[in-house]
Homo-oligomer: A and B are copies of this chain.
Amino acid sequence: MINLMRTLWPINRSLSGEGNRQTLTILSEFIGENLEISRIPSGSEVFDWTIPKEWNVNEAYVIRPDGIKILNFHQNNLHLVGYSDSVDKIVSLNELQDHLFSLPNQPDAVPYVTSYYRNGWGFCISEKDRLGLPEGDYRVVIRTTKKDGFLELAEFLIPGECKDREIIFSTYICHPSLANNELSGPVLCAALIRELKSLYSKSKPHYSVRFLFLPETIGAIAYINKNLELLRHRTIAGFVVTCVGDDRSWSFVPSRLGNTLADRVARRSLAHLGIRYKEYPWLERGSDERQFCSPGVDLPFCSIMRSKYGTYPEYHTSMDRIDTVVTESGLNESFSFYLKLIEECQNLVIPELQTICEPQMSKRNLYPTTSIKDGWIDTRNNMNVLSFCDGKTELEEIAKLSHLDAKVVQNILHRLQSYGLVDF
C-alpha cells in the first residue's frame, strides 16, 4: 500500500481531470482489473447540483522580482488553488498577497485550498515563505483549462451469492498530494479489493461487496442520484473510508440515525478487535456520510477512521505526508481492521424459521431420539436459537438473547439451514 501511495502521491487530483483518470488507471493496474467507470458530463444536474467543467493544469508558478521561480505547481501541486483559472500577468506584491493563502499558526505548512465553484486564481504558500517575499513586481503564470468534460465515478464489485444484498465501501479520489486525507482511503480500498479477489477467487462471498471511488460530495451526490433505488434496495451496511493511514488513534462517526446495522457491525468489529476508539457525534461528521445519511436518503452508513479529518495538525496541509503522518503500520492495521469488518458483515445473518411451532428435530437426528433426563439439555441451544428466528432479529442479537457466543449461534443456524428449518 505504501508503494501504491508513493506512486499516486505526485498526481494532481481534483473533482475531475486527467489526474483523476490517471489515478483510476493506476488503481486498476494495482487491482489487476479495470474499475468500472461512469462518466457524468459537465453540466448534468444531480439533485441540487450541477456537474462542473473538467479542470486540467498545464503549469503554474510565480516569478519573484529577483527572477526566482516559486510556488511551482510541478514541484508541489498544493501551491495552486484548486480550479484556478488561467492567468499570465505582472502584479505587485500587494496585489499578489490578495491571492495567497497561508496558515499563520503553522508557518512551515502550505495549506490545501480549492475554489471549485467560483472563478478566480490563487496560490498557497507557507507563512514563512510568504513573510520573506520581497517588494516588487511578480509574474504570475497559470495555464489551466476548464472545459466540458466528465466527472468520473469509479466502482468495483465483488459479486456475492446474494446478488441483491451489498456491503458498500466509499472513498474519495479528489485530493492532490495529501496522504492521510486522502490517499489512504483509495489505497486501502484498492488493497482490500486485491485481497478479496484472492480470498473469493474460488467461492463467492455471501453478500456482494461494492467499492466506490468518487470525488467527495459532488461525486457521492451524483452516485446517489444515479443509484438511489438500488442503494435503498441492496445496501445492508455502508462505510465511508477516509483517514485510514496514520497510526495515532481510531475514530468512529455514526450514521444520522445512530443505530443502523452499519453502526452495530462497526461497533462490534471494533470491540472484537479490542480497539479503543473515540466516537464522535453525528454533528462532527464531515465526509460522504453527509450524503448517504441525508434526510430522504437515510442509508445505513457510518465511518471508521484513524485520526479523524480536522482533528490532527497536519490535516489539509502539505504536512499531511507519507512517513510522517501515514505509516506502513497505520495502513496495515487499518487493512486488518477492514478485513475483519468485511468478515463480520459477511457473517451477518437474519434467520427466519421455515415452519410454525418447533420443528421435529428428532426426525433429522438433531435431537436425542431417546429422551433421558439430561439428554435434551444438549439441544437446548438449538431450540433457544430457533425460538428467536422470527425474521426480524440478526444473529448477533439472537446470540445476546440466547446467552450464546455468536460463533455458536452461527454454527447452529447453518446446521438448521442445511435441514431447511431456517433460511437467511
Contact = CB atoms under 8 A, between A and B. Distances in A.
Interface of A: 47-50, 81-82, 101, 103, 111-118, 122, 217, 220-221, 224-225, 228, 256, 282-283, 290-291, 293-297, 310, 315-317, 352-353, 355-360, 362-363, 369-373, 377, 380, 383-384, 387-391, 402-403, 421
A290 B387 contact: yes
Given A48-B359, A113-B372, A362-B117, A295 B122 contact: no
Contacts of A111: 372-373
A111 B374 CA distance: 10
A281 B56 CA distance: 67
A296 B283 CA distance: 40
A383 B316 contact: no
A373 B316 contact: yes
Query: Is chain A's binding surface mostly helix, strand, loop or mixed?
Result: loop
Contacts of A47: 355-357, 359
A111 B376 CA distance: 14
A370 B117 CA distance: 8
A283 B372 contact: no
A127 to B, nearest CB: 12
Contacts of A388: 295
Contact of A353 (B112, B295, B316, B355): B295
Given A290-B383, A387-B290, A317 B48 contact: no
Contact of A220 (B82, B353, B357, B391): B357
Contact of A294 (B48, B122, B353): B353
Contact of A362 (B118, B360, B384): B118
B353 A317 contact: no
A316 to B, nearest CB: 5
A50 B364 CA distance: 13
A122 B256 CA distance: 63
A209 B37 CA distance: 57
B117 A387 contact: no
Please name the 5 residue pairs, one residue from A and one from B, whose CB atoms are nearest each other, closest first.
A295-B390, A118-B369, A48-B359, A48-B355, A117-B362
24 contacts: A47-B356, A48-B357, A49-B357, A49-B359, A49-B360, A82-B371, A114-B370, A115-B369, A115-B370, A117-B360, A117-B362, A118-B362, A118-B369, A225-B357, A283-B380, A283-B384, A283-B402, A290-B383, A293-B387, A295-B389, A295-B391, A296-B390, A297-B357, A315-B373
A356 B316 contact: no
B373 A103 contact: yes
